[in-house]
Chains A and B, each alone.
Chain A
Amino acid sequence: MASTAAQIHLIRPSFAPNPTRTTSKSGFFGTSVSFTTPKSSLPRLRKCSNRRNHSLRVAAEKVVGIDLGTTNSAVGAMEGGKPVIVTNAEGQRTTPSVVAYTKNGDRLVGQIAKRQAVVNPENTFFSVKRFIGRKMIEVDEEAKQVSYNVVRDDNGNVKLDCPAIGKQFAAEEISAQVLRKLVDDASKFLNEKVSKAVVTVPAYFNDSQRTATKDAGRIAGLEVLRIINEPTAASLAYGFERKNNETILVFDLGGGTFDVSVLEVGDGVFEVLSTSGDTHLGGDDFDKRIVDWLALSFKNDEGIDLLKDKQALQRLTETAEKAKMELSTLTQANISLPFITATADGPKHIETTLTRAKFEELCSDLLDRLKTPVQNSLRDAKLSISDIDEVILVGGSTRIPAVQGVVKSLTGKDPNVTVNPDEVVALGAAVQAGVLAGDVSDIVLLDVTPLSIGLETLGGVMTKIIPRNTTLPTSKSEGSGKKQDITITGASTLPSDEVERMVSEAERFSKEDKEKRDAIDTKNQADSVVYQTEKQLKELGEKVPAEVKEKVEAKLEELKKAITEGVTQVIKDTMAALNQEVMQLGQSLYNQPGATPGAGGADGPSEASNKGPEGDVIDADFTDSK
């Protein structure tokens, strides 16, 4: 089972495999081919057997860093001593944190799920991070903003209703699906088994949100070595190659949360001085303002409330997000939503223009809410703005010019633009992953969990432990704008037996997934073998001895029959049998006087089986390196 993967690794040990090559494997899952390959490509296997020993290697297990975002997620890993972004199976550097179930029960994750959101709004789960580890009463507002149904279970916890498969999911389960995809794609990209990760959360996440995120990892079959704060991760990526002493302020406005952290960086030590934030403020809220504005003017003009129509709402949301992004570079955006709804008079359309000034006016209160956490974090760090050397912007929403304007007016500084706000958190998580894996030795992170009351200590290190039942200082309370009645019981997380159930369920689904993909791959491979064999027989014509030809044709018919019947194992067996006959055919040609060696059919179908639509042998690596 000489795997292509292992060979490539041997030849170019320090390079990541070409992402485009990974891309071509999209939709192709894990180990499926490793079982078919040895049977269906015996000739090739034999040819390569002498190379096999060289390509065997001990697979070093990679620890990756994962930025599990509200709207998008990213994965980073240490490669050649530097953190790099791992591209997904679609070749993208970020993956939408979206999971969908189609009417026939298929599960979609990432871009493909996001794309079909408009036609399947009730079964498309996005912004799930807003619900993870939360009680229903904490997320009333958020629940109204999504196109799927958010329900309360018997314990007051949040459940997401999925009518397509008649199931209610915990937010942890949906996040687990996203994590699973991220990790599967990462292990393909890195050609290494990935089962351990550092996952980031907003600094202002409380204990149950952190525990729930960890549980999501467990459900995904992932060992979460550490949960670290997003702004802290960003600072790690920023300061990774700088050795000078600096005090930095990280301003992190993501899809759903807002964090501000002040850190002291120097000599490889990253120390968080203070953290503040708002867990109910993010890019989604800016989108919502545009949606509400569009819906309101439509209601005034047509008397129809589009917010009650899930499909219209989903279209409005997507268009709003697009307009918001456009307004980061343009001063006005055209909004065009044909056939948004229909009345007795016929179809209705939305055709309008949103100027940047109007957008800023719609969001003025959101922009105001950015100020308090910045001021609080400085005060908590006992610093004034003049003590800050750099301001780092993190999160896609910091591309909004008005947000940058707020930062500038608050800090009197031009923000640092050297980091990519979408990628820096995952890169930083990769650095911490490197520290934990022992790949990075000259960096340590000292963080505080601002709302933690001593349950989860980051890296086992917490400078201040607030005893149970102690009233938190009011300064902390202002930041989140809500009462700080944090309970230590973690009641809004799942009970451990339920997590166990979800883990085994996820494993079962992943097995079914693999079987499904194996079935598809096997069928494709078999189709290709049939085609190649028929072609060979035709080309060789009279050269093939009749009795050999008969045998091959018999097996060929058997395989065709097996393909129609569609039982994977039968297809595999028949395909192997056919390959045996084809080998005999090659042998008989070779033994014929005057036959050209190598022109025989032996290579044909077996090569084809290796070069089938998706049937490269690459995934043999998984079994090889274990």
Chain B
Amino acid sequence: MEVDHYAILGLPSAVQSTKLSAQKITKAYRLKALELHPDKRRHDPNAHNKFQRLLHSYEVLKDTKTREVYDVLVRAKHENVLNDLMYEKMMAESQAWDEEC
């Protein structure tokens, strides 16, 4: 759960994006692909890695099955974050909590 695949495609991160249609995902990916393709960044030594990352994220989100799994994780993380915030609020004196996952 380290990588925010939606953000890599240039989409708003996390929960809002889990509602996006497959077409929207593809469109976002293509826009990013036009921007990040190594042919467009001939002088960027990291272009290749950046593009591989984009491809990987798109592969996760393109396949309905992997996207489903990922979305569940996103929501869970989101809930965790909310829970954490509430907990932190309650335990205002203790701020040293890390995220669980």
A461 touches B55 (CB 8 A): yes
B27 touches A463 (CB 8 A): no
- Which residues of chain A from 349 to 366 have any CB-CB distance to chain B below 8 Å in the complex? none
Residues of A within 8 Å of B26, CB to CB, are: 266
Main secondary structure of the interface of B (DSSP, over half): helix
A269 touches B34 (CB 8 A): yes
- How far apart sit A269 and B40, CA to CA, in the bound complex (Å)? 13
Measured CB to CB, the closest approach of chain A to B42, in angstroms, equals: 8
Q: For residue A267, which residue of chain B has the nearest CB?
A: B30
Residues of A within 8 Å of B31, CB to CB, are: 267
Asked whether any CB of chain B lies closer than 8 Å to the CB of A489, the reply is: no
| A268, A461, A463, most chain B CB atoms within 10 A | A461
Measured CB to CB, the closest approach of chain B to A521, in angstroms, equals: 40
B17-29 vs A: 1/0 string, CB under 8 Å?
Answer: 0000000001100
Measured CB to CB, the closest approach of chain B to A599, in angstroms, equals: 60
Given contacts A266-B26, A267-B27, contact A460 B33 (CB under 8 A): no
Of B27, B30, B51, B59, the residue contacting A460 (CB under 8 A) is: B51
A265-291 vs B: 1/0 string, CB under 8 Å?
Answer: 011110000000000000000000000
A461 touches B30 (CB 8 A): no
Residues of B within 8 Å of A444, CB to CB, are: 33-34, 37, 39-40
Residues of B within 8 Å of A442, CB to CB, are: 34
Asked whether any CB of chain B lies closer than 8 Å to the CB of A577, the reply is: no
Chain A: interface residue total (CB-CB under 8 A): 15
- How far apart sit A444 and B54, CA to CA, in the bound complex (Å)? 14
Residues of A within 8 Å of B47, CB to CB, are: 460
A460 touches B55 (CB 8 A): no
Asked whether any CB of chain A lies closer than 8 Å to the CB of B77, the reply is: no
Residues of B within 8 Å of A441, CB to CB, are: 40
| A269, A446, A459, A463, most chain B CB atoms within 10 A | A269
Residues of B within 8 Å of A460, CB to CB, are: 38, 47-48, 51
Asked whether any CB of chain B lies closer than 8 Å to the CB of A400, the reply is: no
- Which residues of chain B from 26 to 79 have any CB-CB distance to chain A below 8 Å in the complex? 26-27, 30-31, 33-34, 37-40, 47-48, 51-52, 55, 59
Residues of A within 8 Å of B52, CB to CB, are: 461
Of A266, A436, A445, A459, the residue contacting B30 (CB under 8 A) is: A266
B34 touches A459 (CB 8 A): no
B55 touches A463 (CB 8 A): yes
Residues of A within 8 Å of B37, CB to CB, are: 444, 446, 459, 461
- How far apart sit A446 and B34, CA to CA, in the bound complex (Å)? 10
Measured CB to CB, the closest approach of chain A to B17, in angstroms, equals: 19
Asked whether any CB of chain B lies closer than 8 Å to the CB of A435, the reply is: yes
Given contacts A444-B39, A444-B40, A459-B39, contact A267 B34 (CB under 8 A): yes
Residues of A within 8 Å of B34, CB to CB, are: 267-269, 442, 444
Residues of B within 8 Å of A436, CB to CB, are: 39
Given contacts A266-B26, A269-B33, A444-B34, contact A463 B51 (CB under 8 A): no
A461 touches B51 (CB 8 A): yes
A446 touches B33 (CB 8 A): yes
Q: For residue A436, which residue of chain B has the nearest CB?
A: B39
- How far apart sit A488 and B22, CA to CA, in the bound complex (Å)? 37
| A267, A444, A445, A463, most chain B CB atoms within 10 A | A444
- Which residues of chain A from 251 to 309 have any CB-CB distance to chain B below 8 Å in the complex? 266-269
A442-475 vs B: 1/0 string, CB under 8 Å?
Answer: 1011100000000000011101000000000000
- How far apart sit A445 and B26, CA to CA, in the bound complex (Å)? 15
Measured CB to CB, the closest approach of chain B to A447, in angstroms, equals: 11
Residues of B within 8 Å of A459, CB to CB, are: 37-39
Measured CB to CB, the closest approach of chain A to B84, in angstroms, equals: 36
Given contacts A441-B40, A459-B39, A460-B47, contact A268 B59 (CB under 8 A): no
A315-354 vs B: 1/0 string, CB under 8 Å?
Answer: 0000000000000000000000000000000000000000
- How far apart sit A436 and B42, CA to CA, in the bound complex (Å)? 9
Residues of B within 8 Å of A461, CB to CB, are: 37-38, 48, 51-52, 55
Q: For residue A266, which residue of chain B has the nearest CB?
A: B30
Residues of A within 8 Å of B27, CB to CB, are: 267
Residues of A within 8 Å of B55, CB to CB, are: 446, 461, 463
Measured CB to CB, the closest approach of chain B to A280, in angstroms, equals: 32
| B37, B40, B52, most chain A CB atoms within 10 A | B37
- How far apart sit A459 and B21, CA to CA, in the bound complex (Å)? 29
- Which residues of chain A from 413 to 449 have any CB-CB distance to chain B below 8 Å in the complex? 435-436, 441-442, 444-446
Residues of B within 8 Å of A445, CB to CB, are: 39
Q: For residue B29, which residue of chain A has the nearest CB?
A: A269
| A-B CB contact pairs (8 Å), 30 listed | A266-B26, A267-B27, A267-B30, A267-B31, A267-B34, A268-B30, A268-B34, A435-B39, A436-B39, A441-B40, A442-B34, A444-B33, A444-B37, A444-B39, A444-B40, A445-B39, A446-B55, A459-B37, A459-B38, A459-B39, A460-B38, A460-B47, A460-B48, A461-B37, A461-B38, A461-B48, A461-B51, A461-B52, A463-B55, A463-B59
Additional 19 contacts, C-beta under 8 A, given A446-B55, A459-B38, A461-B37: A266-B26, A266-B30, A267-B27, A267-B30, A267-B34, A268-B30, A269-B34, A435-B39, A436-B39, A441-B40, A444-B34, A444-B37, A444-B40, A445-B39, A446-B37, A460-B38, A461-B51, A461-B55, A463-B59
Residues of A within 8 A of B (CB): 266-269, 435-436, 441-442, 444-446, 459-461, 463
